[in-house]
Amino acid sequence: MTDTRVWTSSDSAVGERERPASERAQEHVCPECGGTLVTDEEHGETACSDCGLVVEEDGIDHGPEWRAFDSRERDRKARVGSPTTKMMHDKGLSTTIDWQNKDAYGKALSATQRRKMQRLRTWNRRFQTSDHQERNLRQALGEIDRMASALGLPETVRETASVIYRRALEDALLPGRSIEGVATSALYAAARQAGVPRTIDEVARVSRVDEEEFKRTYRYVVRELNLEVAPADPVSYVTRFASELGLSDEADRLAREMLDAAKERGIHSGKNPVGLAAAAVYAAPLLTDESVTQGQVSEVADISEVTIRNRYRELLAAYEEAGAAVA
């Protein structure tokens, strides 16, 4: 008759320590030939890699009961919490207590339970930010997330901006500068690096610092952290401007061709990329018989009509030269 006993985790841990090392070593050795034992988790068997003796069968599968065929499906089905992220000051490892005073069944909590939950939320917030540096980081990452949402920036840009801000905090670049200013600079630099730039005016509108402080802090952060930020490409603004103006794909393509022609002749050097993009978006629809005014383009690109007219003439001249050269 087999003696069956239920072991707890503490019993097994204590028993494992009390057993001699020679006994524990024998568990990994084949009793028949002394070879190495290998566990086949798919079939639930433990067998000898030399002689093939099956030492144990019907093993317990400690993995999940579901299958996944790619990383996205695996992340969706996993029930072990969210992955760590640089976008949260504690990397997403802390506990979050819901603000709604309801239980798991959706029923409202009693007055006593509500007071208890409020105390737990208060202490939970205090434990999450134990020092001034963590409070600083929490406020800054919240600002980055708010501005990125207002500007429609993807999650990759937010992650990069969070990393840039963390580097600035570690290198002690914050003293003498506002948290909002460094956070805005980190987000603007991240957007430029990711190839989804926003204009300085667009970023300044959603920031809580004035434009001059933002520009000054941005130059300081880029210089001190040695960030590789390439000059903004006018082409990267075209699709967004054309979409907001409701232009056709043909006009979008033609605007890109005009900017490419301008680059080949060096017209873009030293000029505002937003102004060049706005001029291309204004000139292209005129060549495709679409209706768009300088005022509309000026409002979308947040650039003056005078700048659009000046760049417009230069782009047309470069495009005509390129066409003549091809002909």
**Which pLDDT does position 15 carry in this prediction?**
46
**Which pLDDT does position 317 carry in this prediction?**
81
**16 has binding-site annotation:** no
At residue 326 the predicted structure's pLDDT band, cuts being 50, 70 and 90, is very low
- pLDDT of 167 over the 80 cut: yes
If we measure between CA atoms, which residue out of 101, 81, 95 comes closest to residue 125? 95
At residue 6 the predicted structure's pLDDT band, cuts being 50, 70 and 90, is very low
**Which pLDDT does position 62 carry in this prediction?**
67
Q: Please give the average per-residue pLDDT across 184-191, as a whole number.
A: 93
Q: 196 or 90: whose pLDDT is higher?
A: 196
Q: Which two tokens stand for residue 79?
A: 């029930």
Q: 233 or 204: whose pLDDT is higher?
A: 204
**First vs last Cα of the chain: how many Å apart?**
97
Show me where the domains of the chain are located. 29-59, 132-225, 234-325
35/193 Cα distance (integer angstroms): 55
At residue 213 the predicted structure's pLDDT band, cuts being 50, 70 and 90, is very high
- How many contiguous H segments (helices) and E segments (strands) does the chain have? 14, 3
If we measure between CA atoms, which residue out of 225, 226, 153, 230 comes closest to residue 187? 153
**Which pLDDT does position 130 carry in this prediction?**
65
Whether 132-225 and 234-325 share one fold: the answer is yes
Q: What amino acid is encoded at 31 in this protein? A: P
What Å distances lie between residue 190 and 10, 23, 197, 223, 314, CA to CA?
A: 49, 57, 8, 14, 31
At residue 14 the predicted structure's pLDDT band, cuts being 50, 70 and 90, is very low
109/102 Cα distance (integer angstroms): 5
**Which pLDDT does position 150 carry in this prediction?**
92
Q: Categorise residue 96: left if φ over 0, alpha if ψ from -120 to 50, beta otherwise.
A: beta
> Would you call 271 helix, strand, or coil by DSSP?
coil
Q: Span 234-325: which CATH code?
A: 1.10.472.10
Give me the chain's average pLDDT, please.
79
User: Each residue of 79-124: pLDDT tens digit?
Assistant: 665 566 666 655 655 667 777 888 778 888 888 888 888 888 887 7
What Å distances lie between residue 218 and 150, 168, 244, CA to CA?
A: 19, 11, 28
**Which pLDDT does position 160 carry in this prediction?**
92
**39 has binding-site annotation:** no
Domain spanning 132-225: CATH 1.10.3470.10: no
Question: CA-based angle 310:315:317, to the nearest 5?
Answer: 100
**Which pLDDT does position 77 carry in this prediction?**
66
**Which pLDDT does position 131 carry in this prediction?**
66
Q: Which two tokens stand for residue 15?
A: 């028993």
> Would you call 200 helix, strand, or coil by DSSP?
helix
**33 has binding-site annotation:** yes
At residue 12 the predicted structure's pLDDT band, cuts being 50, 70 and 90, is very low
pTM above 0.85, yes or no: no
- pLDDT of 164 over the 90 cut: yes
User: Each residue of 278-300: pLDDT tens digit?
Assistant: 999 998 888 888 888 889 998 98
**269 has binding-site annotation:** no
At residue 236 the predicted structure's pLDDT band, cuts being 50, 70 and 90, is confident
Order the strands of the 54-56 sheet from edge to edge. Answer: 37-40, 45-48, 54-56
User: Each residue of 114-159: pLDDT tens digit?
Assistant: 888 888 888 777 666 666 777 888 888 889 999 999 998 988 899 9
191/218 Cα distance (integer angstroms): 13
> Would you call 254 helix, strand, or coil by DSSP?
helix
217/174 Cα distance (integer angstroms): 10
